[in-house]
Amino acid sequence: MFVQDRARHAYPRPQRRRGWGRILVLTAVLLLATDRLAYGSGPTHSDVVVVAPGDTVWSIAAAYYRGDPRPHIGAILAANRLATPLLRPGQALRLPRE
């Protein structure tokens, strides 16, 4: 019925910028920001002790810290992200400083 005259597509469409570079930069910035928030801004000050056979968290806390070792046991477990106080010989433990 109607004849199309091809004038509709005579000029090429301008290419759109997709913005992938902006998305990539924004993603990298968000990853770095969340990493800093999750793990802190710098390394924590701590000493490292290697577990010997027969060592327990209590014995390490009693040998390293002065006074009652009970408050330090929770700090040792939290610093090493341990769910239980079970240790393996040869395991390295970070001991937070007072």
Residues 39-97: pLDDT tens digits? 665 555 668 999 999 999 999 999 999 989 999 999 999 999 999 989 999 999 999 88
Residue with tokens 């090429």: 12
The residue ranges of every structural domain in the chain are: 46-96
SS3 96: strand
- Which pLDDT score is estimated for 81? 93
Find the mean pLDDT for residues 13-31.
80
The class of domain 46-96 in CATH terms is alpha beta
Buried-state track 83-94, b at ≥16 Cβ within 10 A, e below 16:
eeeebeeeeebe
Judge whether residue 1 has pLDDT over 60: no
